[in-house]
Chain A
Amino acid sequence: MEQLYPLVFNHTYFLTQKSQQPQKYKQGRVFSKQAPTLSTFAGAIAIIGGIGAFIFAMILAPDPEESLPLFLMLCLGPPVGAFLFYYLVMRLWFLFVGPRLGEPRLMVSASWLRLGDELSVTYQQPILKDSVLLGGTVELIVRESVRYTCGTDICYAHHDHLITSEAFHSQSLPAGMTLNERFRLTIPEDSMPTFGAKNNKIGWLLRITLSFESLSKYDELFEITVTA
Protein backbone atom coordinates (compact mmCIF):
# COMPACT_ATOMS: atom_id res chain seq x y z
CA MET A 1 0.00 0.00 0.00
CA GLU A 2 1.46 3.27 -1.07
CA GLN A 3 1.97 5.84 1.66
CA LEU A 4 0.75 9.28 0.75
CA TYR A 5 1.84 12.47 2.42
CA PRO A 6 -0.85 15.13 2.34
CA LEU A 7 0.28 18.66 1.77
CA VAL A 8 -2.51 21.08 2.51
CA PHE A 9 -2.18 24.32 0.67
CA ASN A 10 -2.12 27.11 3.16
CA HIS A 11 -4.70 29.33 1.57
CA THR A 12 -8.22 29.76 0.37
CA TYR A 13 -8.42 30.03 -3.37
CA PHE A 14 -9.01 33.65 -4.19
CA LEU A 15 -9.23 35.84 -7.22
CA THR A 16 -6.13 37.83 -6.41
CA GLN A 17 -3.69 35.05 -5.84
CA LYS A 18 -0.13 36.26 -6.22
CA SER A 19 2.64 34.31 -7.82
CA GLN A 20 5.38 33.14 -5.49
CA GLN A 21 8.94 34.32 -5.42
CA PRO A 22 11.42 31.54 -6.05
CA GLN A 23 13.00 31.95 -2.64
CA LYS A 24 9.72 31.38 -0.80
CA TYR A 25 9.05 27.75 -1.33
CA LYS A 26 10.21 25.36 1.31
CA GLN A 27 10.76 21.69 1.73
CA GLY A 28 7.61 19.74 2.37
CA ARG A 29 5.06 22.49 2.10
CA VAL A 30 3.53 24.64 -0.53
CA PHE A 31 3.28 28.26 0.46
CA SER A 32 0.64 30.64 -0.68
CA LYS A 33 -0.56 34.01 0.38
CA GLN A 34 -3.37 33.71 2.89
CA ALA A 35 -6.43 35.16 1.24
CA PRO A 36 -8.58 37.42 3.41
CA THR A 37 -11.92 35.93 4.36
CA LEU A 38 -15.09 37.71 5.35
CA SER A 39 -16.22 35.08 7.84
CA THR A 40 -13.81 36.25 10.53
CA PHE A 41 -15.00 39.84 10.34
CA ALA A 42 -18.67 38.94 10.06
CA GLY A 43 -18.48 36.55 12.98
CA ALA A 44 -16.81 39.15 15.16
CA ILE A 45 -19.41 41.78 14.19
CA ALA A 46 -22.26 39.36 14.99
CA ILE A 47 -20.88 38.49 18.42
CA ILE A 48 -20.11 42.06 19.40
CA GLY A 49 -23.46 43.24 18.02
CA GLY A 50 -25.29 40.51 19.89
CA ILE A 51 -23.66 41.33 23.20
CA GLY A 52 -24.28 45.04 22.69
CA ALA A 53 -27.90 44.46 21.81
CA PHE A 54 -28.40 42.26 24.86
CA ILE A 55 -27.00 44.96 27.15
CA PHE A 56 -29.15 47.55 25.37
CA ALA A 57 -32.23 45.38 25.90
CA MET A 58 -31.43 44.88 29.58
CA ILE A 59 -31.24 48.63 30.07
CA LEU A 60 -34.43 49.48 28.18
CA ALA A 61 -36.51 46.45 29.07
CA PRO A 62 -39.47 46.96 31.34
CA ASP A 63 -39.87 44.90 34.43
CA PRO A 64 -39.96 41.21 33.35
CA GLU A 65 -42.77 40.47 35.75
CA GLU A 66 -44.97 42.97 33.97
CA SER A 67 -44.26 41.99 30.38
CA LEU A 68 -42.31 38.77 30.01
CA PRO A 69 -42.79 38.37 26.21
CA LEU A 70 -41.51 41.89 25.52
CA PHE A 71 -38.52 41.36 27.80
CA LEU A 72 -37.63 38.09 26.07
CA MET A 73 -38.05 39.68 22.67
CA LEU A 74 -35.69 42.53 23.58
CA CYS A 75 -33.16 40.14 25.16
CA LEU A 76 -33.15 37.41 22.56
CA GLY A 77 -34.24 39.30 19.49
CA PRO A 78 -31.06 41.29 18.83
CA PRO A 79 -28.67 38.31 19.10
CA VAL A 80 -30.92 36.20 16.89
CA GLY A 81 -31.21 39.10 14.48
CA ALA A 82 -27.46 39.58 14.47
CA PHE A 83 -26.98 35.89 13.75
CA LEU A 84 -29.48 36.00 10.89
CA PHE A 85 -27.82 39.12 9.56
CA TYR A 86 -24.43 37.40 9.73
CA TYR A 87 -25.85 34.35 7.94
CA LEU A 88 -27.44 36.50 5.27
CA VAL A 89 -24.20 38.45 4.71
CA MET A 90 -22.24 35.22 4.49
CA ARG A 91 -24.66 33.76 1.96
CA LEU A 92 -24.60 36.87 -0.15
CA TRP A 93 -20.82 37.06 0.10
CA PHE A 94 -20.52 33.44 -0.93
CA LEU A 95 -22.90 33.92 -3.85
CA PHE A 96 -21.35 37.07 -5.27
CA VAL A 97 -17.79 37.31 -3.93
CA GLY A 98 -16.85 34.05 -2.28
CA PRO A 99 -14.44 31.51 -3.64
CA ARG A 100 -15.44 29.04 -6.27
CA LEU A 101 -12.93 26.52 -5.10
CA GLY A 102 -12.14 25.04 -1.72
CA GLU A 103 -8.72 24.36 -0.30
CA PRO A 104 -6.75 22.14 -2.63
CA ARG A 105 -4.74 19.20 -1.35
CA LEU A 106 -1.60 17.94 -2.96
CA MET A 107 -0.35 14.51 -1.98
CA VAL A 108 2.94 13.06 -3.10
CA SER A 109 4.13 9.51 -2.51
CA ALA A 110 7.42 10.76 -1.03
CA SER A 111 9.26 14.01 -0.58
CA TRP A 112 12.64 12.21 -0.62
CA LEU A 113 13.31 10.28 -3.81
CA ARG A 114 16.19 8.54 -5.51
CA LEU A 115 17.17 8.77 -9.13
CA GLY A 116 14.99 6.42 -11.15
CA ASP A 117 12.14 6.46 -8.60
CA GLU A 118 8.56 7.00 -9.57
CA LEU A 119 6.65 9.82 -7.92
CA SER A 120 2.91 9.60 -7.46
CA VAL A 121 1.12 12.93 -7.30
CA THR A 122 -2.52 13.25 -6.27
CA TYR A 123 -4.30 16.56 -6.54
CA GLN A 124 -7.70 17.11 -4.94
CA GLN A 125 -9.68 20.29 -5.43
CA PRO A 126 -13.13 20.78 -3.86
CA ILE A 127 -15.48 22.66 -6.18
CA LEU A 128 -17.73 25.09 -4.29
CA LYS A 129 -19.46 26.65 -7.30
CA ASP A 130 -19.90 25.48 -10.86
CA SER A 131 -16.52 25.96 -12.53
CA VAL A 132 -14.81 25.20 -15.79
CA LEU A 133 -11.30 23.83 -15.73
CA LEU A 134 -9.62 25.08 -18.89
CA GLY A 135 -6.48 23.04 -18.42
CA GLY A 136 -3.39 22.62 -16.35
CA THR A 137 -0.15 20.77 -15.92
CA VAL A 138 1.90 18.95 -13.35
CA GLU A 139 5.55 19.47 -14.18
CA LEU A 140 8.72 17.98 -12.82
CA ILE A 141 11.42 20.62 -13.02
CA VAL A 142 15.12 20.84 -12.29
CA ARG A 143 15.98 24.37 -11.26
CA GLU A 144 19.47 25.83 -11.32
CA SER A 145 19.65 28.71 -8.85
CA VAL A 146 22.69 30.92 -8.53
CA ARG A 147 23.76 33.81 -6.36
CA TYR A 148 26.32 36.16 -7.82
CA THR A 149 27.99 39.44 -7.10
CA CYS A 150 26.84 42.27 -9.34
CA GLY A 151 28.75 45.42 -8.43
CA THR A 152 28.27 45.86 -4.72
CA ASP A 153 25.01 43.92 -4.65
CA ILE A 154 24.13 40.26 -4.51
CA CYS A 155 21.98 39.13 -7.41
CA TYR A 156 20.05 35.95 -8.01
CA ALA A 157 19.10 34.03 -11.12
CA HIS A 158 17.54 30.72 -11.92
CA HIS A 159 16.93 28.55 -14.93
CA ASP A 160 14.41 25.72 -15.18
CA HIS A 161 14.75 22.47 -17.07
CA LEU A 162 11.45 20.75 -17.71
CA ILE A 163 11.95 17.03 -17.13
CA THR A 164 8.44 15.70 -17.62
CA SER A 165 4.91 17.05 -17.74
CA GLU A 166 1.39 15.69 -17.36
CA ALA A 167 -1.78 17.53 -18.30
CA PHE A 168 -5.12 18.15 -16.61
CA HIS A 169 -7.98 17.72 -19.06
CA SER A 170 -10.36 20.59 -19.54
CA GLN A 171 -13.77 19.83 -18.07
CA SER A 172 -16.85 21.35 -16.49
CA LEU A 173 -16.96 20.83 -12.74
CA PRO A 174 -20.31 21.05 -10.95
CA ALA A 175 -20.57 22.48 -7.43
CA GLY A 176 -20.13 19.91 -4.71
CA MET A 177 -17.77 17.58 -6.52
CA THR A 178 -14.06 17.21 -5.86
CA LEU A 179 -11.59 17.26 -8.71
CA ASN A 180 -9.36 14.27 -8.07
CA GLU A 181 -6.43 13.71 -10.42
CA ARG A 182 -3.50 11.37 -10.02
CA PHE A 183 -0.27 11.41 -11.98
CA ARG A 184 2.85 9.30 -12.04
CA LEU A 185 6.16 11.00 -12.78
CA THR A 186 9.55 9.34 -13.04
CA ILE A 187 12.87 10.82 -11.96
CA PRO A 188 15.30 9.98 -14.78
CA GLU A 189 18.24 7.84 -13.72
CA ASP A 190 20.81 9.97 -15.48
CA SER A 191 19.80 13.22 -13.79
CA MET A 192 21.56 15.35 -11.24
CA PRO A 193 20.42 14.85 -7.64
CA THR A 194 19.59 17.80 -5.43
CA PHE A 195 22.75 19.84 -4.89
CA GLY A 196 23.26 22.80 -2.64
CA ALA A 197 26.33 24.93 -2.10
CA LYS A 198 26.64 28.50 -0.88
CA ASN A 199 26.15 30.18 -4.26
CA ASN A 200 24.96 27.42 -6.55
CA LYS A 201 21.97 25.14 -6.09
CA ILE A 202 20.30 22.49 -8.16
CA GLY A 203 16.83 21.61 -6.95
CA TRP A 204 13.88 19.50 -7.99
CA LEU A 205 10.46 21.10 -8.07
CA LEU A 206 6.96 19.96 -8.67
CA ARG A 207 4.98 22.68 -10.37
CA ILE A 208 1.17 22.65 -10.54
CA THR A 209 -0.53 25.12 -12.84
CA LEU A 210 -4.29 25.24 -13.28
CA SER A 211 -6.45 27.56 -15.33
CA PHE A 212 -10.09 27.95 -14.32
CA GLU A 213 -12.49 30.07 -16.29
CA SER A 214 -12.73 33.60 -14.85
CA LEU A 215 -10.02 32.92 -12.28
CA SER A 216 -6.40 33.92 -12.30
CA LYS A 217 -3.95 31.20 -13.14
CA TYR A 218 -3.09 28.94 -10.27
CA ASP A 219 0.65 28.30 -10.01
CA GLU A 220 2.30 26.50 -7.12
CA LEU A 221 5.74 25.06 -6.54
CA PHE A 222 6.68 22.24 -4.23
CA GLU A 223 10.24 21.22 -3.61
CA ILE A 224 11.25 17.59 -3.48
CA THR A 225 14.63 16.19 -2.59
CA VAL A 226 16.27 13.77 -4.98
CA THR A 227 19.22 11.79 -3.72
CA ALA A 228 21.76 9.68 -5.55
Chain B
Amino acid sequence: MTTMQFNFRDYRSMYDNTPVFYPGDRVAGQVVIVPDQAVSCRNIRVDVGWYTQGKGDRDREIIHQYIIDVQRLEPGVPVSQQFAADIPTMPYTFSGHLINIIWAVQVTVDIAMRGDINGAGLFIVRPPQKHGID
Protein backbone atom coordinates (compact mmCIF):
# COMPACT_ATOMS: atom_id res chain seq x y z
CA MET B 1 0.00 0.00 0.00
CA THR B 2 1.54 3.23 -1.14
CA THR B 3 0.43 6.33 0.74
CA MET B 4 0.31 9.74 -0.88
CA GLN B 5 0.07 12.94 1.09
CA PHE B 6 -0.91 16.21 -0.55
CA ASN B 7 -0.02 19.43 1.26
CA PHE B 8 -1.57 22.53 -0.31
CA ARG B 9 -0.40 26.07 0.45
CA ASP B 10 -2.01 29.48 0.22
CA TYR B 11 -5.54 28.31 -0.31
CA ARG B 12 -8.41 30.72 0.30
CA SER B 13 -10.48 28.53 2.58
CA MET B 14 -11.39 24.96 3.30
CA TYR B 15 -14.67 23.36 2.28
CA ASP B 16 -15.38 19.88 3.60
CA ASN B 17 -11.64 19.40 4.27
CA THR B 18 -10.84 20.38 0.68
CA PRO B 19 -8.79 23.50 -0.09
CA VAL B 20 -10.55 26.22 -2.08
CA PHE B 21 -8.85 28.39 -4.70
CA TYR B 22 -10.12 31.17 -6.93
CA PRO B 23 -9.54 31.37 -10.69
CA GLY B 24 -6.22 33.11 -11.27
CA ASP B 25 -4.76 31.85 -8.00
CA ARG B 26 -1.64 29.76 -7.90
CA VAL B 27 -2.24 26.28 -6.56
CA ALA B 28 0.97 25.18 -4.91
CA GLY B 29 2.14 22.60 -2.46
CA GLN B 30 3.96 19.35 -2.08
CA VAL B 31 3.08 15.73 -2.68
CA VAL B 32 4.83 13.04 -0.64
CA ILE B 33 4.75 9.42 -1.82
CA VAL B 34 5.64 6.70 0.66
CA PRO B 35 5.60 3.11 -0.61
CA ASP B 36 5.27 0.23 1.84
CA GLN B 37 7.11 -2.13 -0.46
CA ALA B 38 9.72 -1.90 -3.19
CA VAL B 39 8.30 -0.75 -6.49
CA SER B 40 10.01 -0.73 -9.85
CA CYS B 41 8.61 1.94 -12.13
CA ARG B 42 9.38 3.94 -15.26
CA ASN B 43 8.70 7.30 -13.64
CA ILE B 44 6.21 9.20 -11.51
CA ARG B 45 3.95 11.83 -13.05
CA VAL B 46 2.40 14.65 -11.07
CA ASP B 47 -0.36 16.36 -13.06
CA VAL B 48 -2.18 19.49 -11.99
CA GLY B 49 -5.45 19.92 -13.88
CA TRP B 50 -9.09 19.04 -14.17
CA TYR B 51 -11.07 16.12 -15.47
CA THR B 52 -14.73 15.29 -15.89
CA GLN B 53 -16.56 12.48 -14.23
CA GLY B 54 -20.08 11.27 -14.88
CA LYS B 55 -22.15 9.86 -17.72
CA GLY B 56 -20.16 11.38 -20.54
CA ASP B 57 -16.82 10.16 -21.79
CA ARG B 58 -14.00 11.75 -19.85
CA ASP B 59 -12.49 15.08 -20.79
CA ARG B 60 -9.37 16.31 -19.06
CA GLU B 61 -6.83 19.06 -19.24
CA ILE B 62 -3.46 19.15 -17.58
CA ILE B 63 -2.36 22.63 -16.58
CA HIS B 64 1.09 21.60 -15.43
CA GLN B 65 2.92 18.29 -15.41
CA TYR B 66 5.95 17.19 -13.42
CA ILE B 67 7.84 13.99 -14.16
CA ILE B 68 9.95 12.51 -11.41
CA ASP B 69 12.67 10.47 -13.01
CA VAL B 70 12.85 7.58 -10.59
CA GLN B 71 12.95 3.88 -11.44
CA ARG B 72 12.76 2.30 -8.00
CA LEU B 73 10.88 3.16 -4.84
CA GLU B 74 12.14 1.69 -1.62
CA PRO B 75 9.77 0.76 1.21
CA GLY B 76 9.38 3.55 3.75
CA VAL B 77 11.54 5.97 1.75
CA PRO B 78 9.45 9.02 0.83
CA VAL B 79 9.63 10.65 -2.57
CA SER B 80 8.40 14.23 -2.67
CA GLN B 81 7.65 16.75 -5.39
CA GLN B 82 6.79 20.42 -5.14
CA PHE B 83 4.06 21.60 -7.49
CA ALA B 84 2.74 24.97 -8.54
CA ALA B 85 0.35 25.96 -11.31
CA ASP B 86 -1.72 29.01 -12.16
CA ILE B 87 -5.42 28.25 -12.26
CA PRO B 88 -7.14 29.56 -15.41
CA THR B 89 -10.44 31.45 -15.34
CA MET B 90 -12.36 28.35 -16.38
CA PRO B 91 -13.72 25.83 -15.59
CA TYR B 92 -14.93 25.91 -12.03
CA THR B 93 -15.39 22.86 -9.90
CA PHE B 94 -18.86 21.61 -10.76
CA SER B 95 -21.14 18.93 -9.41
CA GLY B 96 -24.15 18.31 -11.64
CA HIS B 97 -26.56 15.60 -12.64
CA LEU B 98 -24.54 14.21 -15.55
CA ILE B 99 -21.26 16.05 -15.24
CA ASN B 100 -18.79 16.58 -12.44
CA ILE B 101 -15.74 18.75 -13.04
CA ILE B 102 -12.97 17.90 -10.65
CA TRP B 103 -9.74 19.77 -10.08
CA ALA B 104 -6.92 17.68 -8.69
CA VAL B 105 -3.23 17.07 -8.34
CA GLN B 106 -2.97 13.57 -9.74
CA VAL B 107 -0.03 11.27 -9.12
CA THR B 108 0.67 8.30 -11.35
CA VAL B 109 3.42 5.82 -10.56
CA ASP B 110 3.97 4.41 -14.04
CA ILE B 111 4.72 0.72 -13.72
CA ALA B 112 5.61 -1.28 -16.82
CA MET B 113 3.42 -4.28 -17.64
CA ARG B 114 1.35 -3.81 -14.49
CA GLY B 115 -1.34 -1.51 -13.23
CA ASP B 116 -0.17 1.96 -12.33
CA ILE B 117 -0.44 3.29 -8.79
CA ASN B 118 -2.66 6.36 -8.75
CA GLY B 119 -3.53 8.97 -6.21
CA ALA B 120 -5.18 12.36 -6.29
CA GLY B 121 -5.37 15.39 -4.04
CA LEU B 122 -8.58 17.24 -4.83
CA PHE B 123 -9.07 20.97 -4.57
CA ILE B 124 -11.99 23.26 -5.37
CA VAL B 125 -11.96 26.11 -7.85
CA ARG B 126 -14.80 28.54 -7.48
CA PRO B 127 -15.31 32.25 -8.08
CA PRO B 128 -15.10 34.70 -5.19
CA GLN B 129 -18.54 35.50 -3.83
CA LYS B 130 -19.38 39.16 -4.45
CA HIS B 131 -21.89 39.37 -1.62
CA GLY B 132 -20.85 36.51 0.57
CA ILE B 133 -18.24 35.79 3.19
CA ASP B 134 -15.49 33.39 2.25
Contacts and interface: CB of A to CB of B under 8 A. Distances in A.
Given A197-B52, A200-B56, A159 B97 contact: yes
B23 to A, nearest CB: 6
Nearest to B92: A192
A202 B94 CA distance: 10
A162 to B, nearest CB: 12
Interface residues of A, number: 23
A157 B55 contact: yes
Contacts, number: 71
Interface range on chain B (Cβ under 8 Å from partner): 20 to 34
A199 B98 contact: no
Contact of B57 (A115, A148, A159, A202): A148
Interface string A134-156: 00000000001111110000000
Chief secondary structure at chain B's binding surface: loop
Contacts of A228: 23, 89-90, 92, 127
Contacts of B91: 192-193, 195
Contacts of A199: 52, 56-59
B96 interface: yes
Nearest to B59: A197
Nearest to A156: B56
Interface of A: 115-116, 144-149, 157-159, 161, 189-190, 192-193, 195, 197-200, 202, 228
Given A158-B98, A192-B92, A195-B101, 19 more contacts: A146-B57, A146-B98, A147-B57, A148-B55, A189-B129, A189-B131, A190-B126, A192-B91, A192-B94, A198-B57, A199-B56, A199-B59, A200-B52, A200-B54, A200-B98, A200-B99, A200-B101, A228-B90, A228-B92
